């Protein structure tokens, strides 16, 4: 199998969102020829300044490229992009490569792999660990599922966008590993949010609390930056809470399917969902706000109860 290089690759990228945009930009800046498609054409057009071109349909993109990459919000959108007469598989050339980087259910990744194989296309699920700033610096971590020879053949792409990349096994393995990692990411953020609320209610200065926590060994690098932003009440989305909420659903579905108990994940989903339902586009670290609000509410209710008892005693 001939390796992909900057010289022989014509990359098509579908989904120019929070992660897709910086990944596509890095590929362009490293010398790859890239055509972009997004339902919002203005997002794809932002890449023209970096040397990219814009496709006006998925079929146009797939028919003009020998590597199709995608980074999309959910399983439904992924399947819609790849299936049907106007989809990627109906229009991609045999022996081309498809690399889906979306966070989807492992069965969806396996379904894409089967459809690719039927068309003589090389399909990979290569999922992403890292936020938007990490993607901008080309320091992502990638988890690959699919044929090992295909994964090795596309290594030149991974080197440009990632600090580390791992082959996990057959199709669906990359998707599974991403859910494992995001379980830790989301549950860890929930634990931090509860600890912050506890420290505040116990009388610690909020800024000092957040600063010190970010320097401790128990806080992972992925969470430390969130604490620094929380000091300034900056919850602008690097990884939107609606996507973390969606991922928790996938995680718990997988847990139910394989018989794994995940009570902490179920509790974290509840808090994520409550904050996500507020409608504002926020980072998943906004669960800190949710736990702070719950702590303040509990304290106020306790004060009202005390006042009621005192009044009755009079």
Kindly list the catalytic residues: 178
Phi, psi (degrees; rounded to nearest 5) at 311: -65, -40
- Separation CA 219–CA 11 (nearest Å): 38
Closest CA to 119 of 169, 152, 83: 83
**Burial of 108 from C-beta contacts in 10 A (0-12 / 13-18 / 19+):** buried
Cβ proximity of 288 and 196 under 8 Å: yes
- Give the containing element (helix H, strand E) for 149: helix 148-153
Given 3-state DSSP classes, what are the helix, strand and coil percentages for the chain, each rounded to the nearest 5? 55, 15, 30
- Separation CA 299–CA 290 (nearest Å): 14
Phi, psi (degrees; rounded to nearest 5) at 211: -60, -45
- Separation CA 287–CA 92 (nearest Å): 42
E strand segments, 40-104: 53-54, 67-70, 97-100
């Amino acid at each position: 199998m001939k390796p992909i290089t900057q010289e022989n690759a014509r990359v098509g990228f579908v989904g120019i969102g929070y992660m897709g945009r910086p990944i596509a930009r890095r590929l362009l800046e490293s010398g790859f020829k890239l055509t972009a498609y997004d339902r919002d054409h203005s997002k794809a057009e932002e890449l023209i300044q970096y040397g990219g071109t814009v496709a006006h349909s998925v079929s146009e993109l797939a028919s003009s490229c020998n590597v199709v990459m995608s980074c999309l919000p959910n399983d439904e959108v992924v399947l819609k992009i790849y299936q049907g007469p106007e989809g990627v598989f109906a229009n991609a050339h045999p022996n081309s490569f498809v690399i889906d980087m979306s966070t989807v259910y492992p069965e969806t990744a396996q379904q894409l792999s089967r459809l690719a194989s039927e068309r003589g296309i090389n399909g990979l699920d290569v999922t992403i660990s890292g936020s938007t700033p990490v993607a901008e610096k080309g320091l992502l971590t990638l988890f690959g599922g699919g044929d090992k020879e295909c994964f090795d053949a596309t290594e030149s792409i991974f080197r440009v966008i990632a600090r580390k990349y791992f082959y996990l096994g057959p199709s669906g393995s990359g998707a599974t590993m991403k859910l494992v990692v995001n379980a830790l990411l989301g549950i860890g953020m929930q634990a931090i949010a509860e600890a912050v609320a506890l420290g505040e209610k116990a009388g610690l200065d909020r800024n000092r609390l957040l600063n010190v926590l970010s320097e401790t060994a128990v806080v992972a690098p992925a969470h430390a930056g969130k604490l620094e932003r929380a000091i300034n009440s900056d919850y602008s989305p690097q990884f939107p809470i609606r996507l973390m909420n969606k991922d928790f659903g996938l995680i718990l579905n997988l847990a139910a399917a394989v018989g794994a108990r995940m009570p902490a994940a179920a509790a974290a989903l509840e808090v994520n969902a409550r904050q996500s339902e507020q409608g504002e586009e926020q980072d998943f670290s906004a669960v800190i706000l949710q736990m702070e609000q719950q702590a303040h509410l509990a304290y106020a209710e306790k004060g009202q109860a005390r006042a009621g008892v005192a009044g009755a005693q009079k």
